[in-house]
A and B are shown apart, each in its own frame.
Chain A
Amino acid sequence: MRRDIFHAIADPTRREIIKLVSLNPMTPNSLADHFDISRQAVSKHIKILSECSLLEQEYSGREIYYRLSPAKLKPLDEWLEPFRLMWQKRFNELDKLLSKKNKTKNQRR
């Protein structure tokens, strides 16, 4: 089974977990509270994310906290960034066009 960043982000629940732990370290229970799916299903996703080396464990008393290892997200960024840039440029042009059209009273179809 592939265990890398691309596998990690292939699932919407896992993407949401990544977002949550990127803000604060969280326990499995506090993570599970954010989802409608069962705790078991959430722990399965946590396990996959750990296997993809995206989560680090931190012990505090009897609780386990998970936090994001942001360095592991890097390959994703490098891969997608230029594509994102291309779309941003494209959409900025569309913004300009749309605001120009907004100013024109009598539009030509």
Chain B
Amino acid sequence: MEIVKDAAQKKIFIKREFNAELEKVWQAWTTAELLDEWWAPKPWKARTKSLDFREGGKWFYAMVGPDGSESWVRMDIITVSPLKSFTVYDNFTDENGNTNPALPGMEWKCEFSKTADGTLVSVEISFSSEENMKKIIEMGFEEGFSSALNNLDEVFKN
């Protein structure tokens, strides 16, 4: 996986190749029951309330923590070019889908392309300011940290 932060452009670029056909990778990114299986980094779980994957549609889901706490996200789907790319605008919301103005939104552009062995997914996340970018990365820190602890648990089990 390649992850690059471009502070000047207020963007984060993530690239990752998957050893699977493009159609399957696309499906995993655009189908509710599949997204629920992988989207949340452990120990979080994603739980979709609704997904209408088309331009003008929405994906409304909760990230459910190990203690049962929920944080809600509404992704407004802006453009869809099937099996090629989509762009969404990501908002943190309350359980009714109302945007939380205290947390920064961001735009995601996800592109899918065939490679010799599978599928390359390129994600470009754009922020409205550098400060907002820092805020989001710090939130990622929390999740990343919990994931690291979770990894340790798995190590201890063996």
A and B pair up: yes
What is the interface of chain A, defined by CB distance below 8 A to chain B?
A: 6-7, 9-11, 15, 76, 79-91, 93-99, 101-102, 109
Q: How many residue pairs between the two chains, A and B, have CB atoms under 8 Å in the bound complex?
A: 93
Binary A-proximity of B21-61 (CB < 8 A = 1, otherwise 0): 00011011000001001111110000000000000000000
- The reply to whether A85 and B148 form a contact with Cβ atoms under 8 Å apart is yes
| Complex-state Cα separation, A83 to B12, whole angstroms | 10
Is B115 close to A, CB under 8 A? no
Q: Which 8 A-B residue pairs are closest in the complex by CB-CB distance?
A: A82-B144, A10-B8, A93-B38, A6-B7, A82-B141, A89-B41, A83-B140, A98-B20
Q: For the complex formed, measure the closest distance between the CB of B30 and the CB atoms of chain A, giving whole angstroms.
A: 11
Q: Are A79 and B28 in contact (CB under 8 A)?
A: no
- With contact pairs A83-B3, A97-B34 given, residues A90 and B40 touching in the complex (Cβ less than 8 Å): yes
Since A9-B5, A89-B41, A97-B38 are in contact, a sample of 18 more A-B pairs with Cβ atoms closer than 8 Å, ordered by chain A residue number, is A6-B7, A10-B6, A80-B3, A82-B140, A82-B144, A82-B145, A83-B3, A84-B3, A86-B140, A87-B3, A87-B16, A89-B144, A90-B38, A90-B41, A93-B41, A94-B18, A94-B28, A102-B24
The chain B residue with its CB closest to the CB of A90 is: B41
Is the Cβ of B1 less than 8 Å from the Cβ of A98? no
Return the chain A residue nearest B143 by Cβ. A86
Given A90-B39, A90-B41, A98-B25, decide whether A10 and B7 contact each other with a Cβ distance below 8 A: yes
Measured as residues with beta carbon below 8 angstroms from the partner, the interface class of chain B is 20 to 34
Chain B residues closer than 8 Å to A84, beta-carbon distance: 1, 3, 144
* CA A6 to CA B1, docked complex, whole Å: 20
B16: chain A residues within 8 A (beta carbon): 87, 91
Q: How near does chain B come to A94, taking the closest CB pair, in angstroms?
A: 4
Q: Which of A80, A99, A102 lies at the interface centre, i.e. has the most chain B CB atoms within 10 A of its CB?
A: A80
Can you name 26 A-B pairs with beta carbons within 8 Å? A7-B8, A9-B6, A10-B7, A11-B8, A79-B5, A82-B142, A82-B145, A83-B3, A83-B137, A83-B141, A84-B3, A86-B140, A86-B143, A87-B3, A88-B1, A89-B144, A89-B147, A90-B40, A93-B37, A93-B38, A97-B28, A97-B38, A98-B18, A98-B25, A99-B19, A102-B24
